[in-house]
């Protein structure tokens, strides 16, 4: 069975989609990365390699209230960043549920991948 490999745009984890997986996907469906919980919407699902995804956001669990919310590219672009003592850069976003300030750290070596939440 043919398998399409997609690099997660956030963490670069390879997501494997078999023909059977793709047969169940329609344009507008959302795929969630196993590794980083990034959400990607299917924008094309044609034959062979004709497959495209658009990054929606990264599903994050608020450490304060426990609610899930999406961190989108727009939120990150608007978020202030802080530099920690060890040189890591964190973006500060606020939880839409409880307004807690949450730091999202990015690992420089891995490009823009979302590492963890502190």
Q: What residues line the site for Zn ion (CB under 5 A)?
A: 8, 10-11, 13, 33, 35-36, 38, 62, 64-65, 95, 97-98, 100
* Smallest separation (angstroms) from Zn ion to the CB of 66: 7
Read off the DSSP letter of residue 48. T
Nearer to Zn ion, 44 or 97 (CB): 97
* Smallest separation (angstroms) from Zn ion to the CB of 31: 10
CB 49 within 8 A of CB 43: no
CB 94 within 8 A of CB 100: yes
Q: Rounded CA gap, 43 and 93, in Å? A: 27
* Smallest separation (angstroms) from Zn ion to the CB of 86: 24
* Smallest separation (angstroms) from Zn ion to the CB of 74: 18
Contacts of 63 (CB under 8 A, 6+ apart): 100, 102, 117
Nearer to Zn ion, 25 or 115 (CB): 115
Helix residue ranges per DSSP H, 7-84 = 19-23, 73-78
């Amino acid at each position: 069975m043919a398998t399409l490999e997609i690099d997660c745009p956030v963490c670069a984890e390879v997501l494997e989609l078999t023909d059977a997986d793709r047969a169940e996907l329609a344009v507008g469906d959302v795929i969630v990365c196993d590794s980083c919980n990034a959400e990607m919407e299917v924008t094309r699902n044609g034959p062979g390699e004709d497959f495209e995804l658009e990054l929606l956001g990264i599903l994050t669990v608020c450490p304060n209230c426990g609610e899930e919310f999406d961190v989108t590219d727009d939120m990150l672009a608007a978020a202030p960043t802080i530099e920690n003592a060890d040189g890591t850069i964190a973006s500060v976003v606020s939880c839409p549920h409880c307004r807690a300030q949450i730091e999202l750290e990015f690992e420089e070596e891995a490009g823009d991948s979302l590492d963890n939440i502190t």
